[in-house]
Structure 1
Amino acid sequence: MKLYSTNNPNHIVSLREAVLHSLPPDNGLYVPQQYPALDPAIIENITDYSFRELANIIATQYLREEVPEEIIQEIVYDAINFPAPVINIDDKISILELFHGPTLAFKDFGARFMARLMNHFWSTENKKLNILVATSGDTGGAVAAGFYGLDSIEVTILYPKGKVSRLQESQLTTWGSNIHALEIEGDFDDCQKLVKQAFLDLDLNKHLHLSSANSINIARLIPQSFYYFEAYKQLKKDTPVAFCIPSGNFGNLTAGLIAQRMGLPISHMIAATNINDVFPNYLKTGEYKPTAAIPTLSNAMDIGHPSNFSRIQHMYGSTWNDIKKDISGYSYTDQQTINQILNKHKNNGYVLDPHTAIGVLAAEQYLNSTNTGHQVVVLSTAHPIKFQSEIQAEIDFKIPYPASVHRFLDLESHKTPMSATFQDFKNFLLSKSS
């Protein structure tokens, strides 16, 4: 498979180069020259396949030119070793639970797959690969868990001070070894800016081999497409399916568009955001106006400049009318989020995390404003226990507490406070290489 930069179609690279370097030198994003189409018979007989078998079939379409098929299966079967069940909460809305992995968040799918693929691609090198990750919450913990203990790979995670939950912070700061956590004085956009500056700094790149595990890396998006197929498999095939995605950096939504282009019959996409509503406003006006991020209860979506927006535009040829025809966008406040969590627990007995609550709100608004007859699947991106400290005072019930949570909260934290100044970040990276 060949990929090219969204800023320069003549800059063409192999999958290995795209995965290991993450960003093109022109600051674009890598996209495939073409999206492979699955055999329609696989979609028609999708219930014949296990989740791992489906994931292996999809991954093989992208990797087989550069990775032996037995290695692809080994990567997939090792990475995807937990389920993604669909739970019906009423006759029109279902929840795709993506929080059954080791860090209780959907990022486990992408991080575990990426770590194993990168390790394969880098295995012949006699030097360190340095992974840089900006996180607004769950990415950091998932990447830390996925890459922990890999001798040839160092991981540096940047997260905004005071803007992630206690459990999220524990999941990304308690590893040590090859995992380094930086507590940045700023918001997620500041963290992401530092990572992008590092990739574009020629001097830094002379000393270090840099890559990223954010959704700017195509290796994150490929495995995130797997669970769209798995969700479709679990639903009634005679009803059109729309997917509603709680959205921050829009990697998850982009992965759904990739699944759609591979042949999965997705009828519509719904982008659900908190008050950081750059994308819903774009759908309304046709103007993309990045803003400073505003802190909310759904902190993984506190992003004012979503990096995957350029991929979405590129997939549609920057045609606003086509984008707004295929994707609806809605935004909600913290109070609406809390009200939805209370309402769904009272009426359905189901506990939503703040991000999924926003997704269900958007699904309900979409169904109420259209007459499509769609079944809407809401992607549940994290277990609600990850936000207990943020929402417990606002709700009248106890959130179920998985036993695995205690392991993180009881461990010693390893973090380095840092300003949002690039020179400080660069000095830290260079000090680790000396």
Structure 2
Amino acid sequence: MKLYSTNNPESRVSFKEAVFNSMPQDKGLYMPESIPRLSDTFLNNLDGYSLPEIAYHVANNLIGDDIPADDLKAIIYDAINFYAPIVKLEDKVYVLELFHGPSLAFKDFGARFMSRIMSYFLKAGEKQLDVLVATSGDTGGAVALGFLGVPNTRVTILYPKGKVSDIQELQLTTNGQNIRALEIDGTFDDCQALVKQAFTDAELNEKYRLTSANSINIARLIPQTFYYFNAYAQALKQGKSKVVFSVPSGNFGNLGAGLLAWKMGLPVERFIAATNANDTVPQYLKTGVYEPKPSVATLSNAMDVGNPSNWVRIADLFKDDADKLKTLIKGYSYTDEETSTAIQSIYDSYKYVACPHTAIAWRALKDYQQDANNEATGIFLSTAHPCKFPDVYEGEVAAHVEVPEQVKALQSRGKQAVALGKDFEGFKGYLLKNA
């Protein structure tokens, strides 16, 4: 597998180099040199395969000879060892539950796969791998659990002070061992900017072997395609061959993965980009003007991104056909009040408790179905377990939020985090002093 930078299409690196370097020095993002289309035989018979079988087939076609088939299969079966069911709420409305992994969020797919890929490539005696990750909520917890105890690796998680839920913060700050947490006095965009600047800082790169666990890393994006194929396989089993996906979107890695799956042949009718008040992409889809702006805090905190990194990948996928992009993707954005109303409506209609991100995806799907009068079945992505957001629920809904045992165990642990400002020199100084 060869990859190029979105800022330099003539460059070429191996999959291993892209995984470890994470972001090119030219500040682009890595993209596959070629995206294989999966065979019609496979696509038409998806309903005959399990999730790990689908994941292996997709990954093997993308990665190719970079990892021998038996090794790749072992990685897949170890990393993707939980399920992701679609649950029927009504005839043409299904929810894809992606929160059944260890950190109770969809990012377990990417973090577990990536940690095992890095561990596979990391040879004995090599320089320690320093993983930097910015999180707006769920990425950090998934990465922490994915890398916890992995030899010769150290993870530094940056999260915005006061802008993640209590449970999310516990998942970031109570691990110890090779995981450390930095509480940044700023927004997620500030955290992300610090990580990106670190990758282009000569002194840090000379001293440390830096990589990222954010969705800027191609090893995070590839496994997120798996659950789109698997969701479609489950829809086929229920006689549904035309589907649209409604994707709660912040940094746009999730939607980027769906579009990568589409490029590989997954027959999706439409993607819906569902955002909160951070509506940079929905506004672009309406006006044709892409204008990043500072992020604002919302109930759906994991989507509080004003300048989504992965949009450059999506733009790159459609660089020769911008009109196709706007035809394939429909954007919707919602306020906190509309999000709260959606949470209540889902519960009233189905007795189903949805996290705020999930509620936004449901609302966008319902609005799209009303606007488009489309015959396709809608699948909206549930990206996190509702127990992570206890403060957003009231009354009967709050009473029906189940708290898994692994969350209860977290509450007895002490927080371990270092407070920093959002200036790069302070962050760099911390890294240099804490080797």
TM range (shorter): over 0.9
Residue type of the alignment partner of 2:206 = K
Q: 1:151 to 1:312 in 2, by over 3 A?
A: same
Hey, what does 2:420 align to over in structure 1?
418
What is the distance in 2 between the residues matched to 1:144 and 1:176?
A: 9
Hey, what does 2:293 align to over in structure 1?
291
- Judge conservation of contact 1:286–1:320 (CA < 8 Å) in 2: no
Hey, what does 1:196 align to over in structure 2?
196
- Judge conservation of contact 1:165–1:390 (CA < 8 Å) in 2: no
Using the TM superposition, name which of 223-232 and 66-75 deviates more.
66-75
Runs of 5+ unmatched residues, structure 2: none
Query: Any idea what the Cα deviations from partners look like across 1:141-172, whole Å, max 9, x if unmatched?
Result: 00000000012111000000000000000001
TM-aligned CA deviation for residue 264 of structure 1? 0.9
Please give the root-mean-square deviation of Cα atoms over the aligned residues, in Å: 1.3
Query: Any idea what the Cα deviations from partners look like across 1:219-275, whole Å, max 9, x if unmatched?
Result: 001000000011001114554111110000000000000111111111110000001
Hey, what does 1:170 align to over in structure 2?
170
What is the distance in 2 between the residues matched to 1:393 and 1:296?
A: 21
**The one of 319, 323, 326 aligned to 1:324:** 326
TM-aligned CA deviation for residue 432 of structure 1? 2.5
What is the distance in 1 between the residues matched to 2:427 and 2:171?
A: 22
Matches within 5 A, 1:327-366: 327-366=329-368
TM-aligned CA deviation for residue 126 of structure 1? 2.1
Query: Any idea what the Cα deviations from partners look like across 1:297-348, whole Å, max 9, x if unmatched?
Result: 0000000000001001000006432211010000001111111111111121
TM-aligned CA deviation for residue 39 of structure 1? 1.7
**The one of 402, 406, 409 aligned to 1:407:** 409
Aligned residues: 433
Q: 1:337 to 1:238 in 2, by over 3 A?
A: closer
TM-score by length of 2: 0.97
What is the distance in 2 between the residues matched to 1:141 and 1:32?
A: 27
TM-score by length of 1: 0.98
- Judge conservation of contact 1:86–1:95 (CA < 8 Å) in 2: yes
Q: 1:116 to 1:201 in 2, by over 3 A?
A: same
Matches within 5 A, 1:91-130: 91-130=91-130
What is the distance in 2 between the residues matched to 1:292 and 1:395?
A: 32
**Does the residue aligned with 2:309 lie in a helix, a strand or coil?**
coil
What is the distance in 1 between the residues matched to 2:390 and 2:203?
A: 43
Query: Any idea what the Cα deviations from partners look like across 1:156-197, whole Å, max 9, x if unmatched?
Result: 000000000000000011011110100000000000000001
Hey, what does 1:179 align to over in structure 2?
179
**Does the residue aligned with 1:235 lie in a helix, a strand or coil?**
helix
Query: Any idea what the Cα deviations from partners look like across 1:345-365, whole Å, max 9, x if unmatched?
Result: 112111110000000000001
What is the distance in 1 between the residues matched to 2:383 and 2:408?
A: 20
**Does the residue aligned with 1:269 lie in a helix, a strand or coil?**
strand
What is the distance in 2 between the residues matched to 1:89 and 1:238?
A: 14
Residue type of the alignment partner of 1:45 = N
Q: Percent identity?
A: 51
**Quick check: 1:85 aligned with 2:85?**
yes
What is the distance in 2 between the residues matched to 1:321 and 1:48?
A: 35
Hey, what does 2:134 align to over in structure 1?
134
Hey, what does 1:58 align to over in structure 2?
58
Q: 1:223 to 1:396 in 2, by over 3 A?
A: closer
Residue type of the alignment partner of 2:316 = H
Residue type of the alignment partner of 1:100 = H
**Quick check: 1:74 aligned with 2:112?**
no
**Quick check: 1:24 aligned with 2:16?**
no
**The one of 264, 270, 273 aligned to 1:271:** 273
What is the distance in 1 between the residues matched to 2:74 and 2:412?
A: 33
Residue type of the alignment partner of 2:33 = Q
Residue type of the alignment partner of 2:77 = Y
- Judge conservation of contact 2:347–2:397 (CA < 8 Å) in 1: no
What is the distance in 2 between the residues matched to 1:283 and 1:61?
A: 31
- Judge conservation of contact 1:188–1:303 (CA < 8 Å) in 2: yes
**Does the residue aligned with 2:11 lie in a helix, a strand or coil?**
strand
Using the TM superposition, name which of 97-106 and 313-322 deviates more.
313-322
What is the distance in 2 between the residues matched to 1:129 and 1:210?
A: 6
**Does the residue aligned with 1:127 lie in a helix, a strand or coil?**
coil
What is the distance in 2 between the residues matched to 1:179 and 1:394?
A: 37
What is the distance in 2 between the residues matched to 1:87 and 1:398?
A: 18
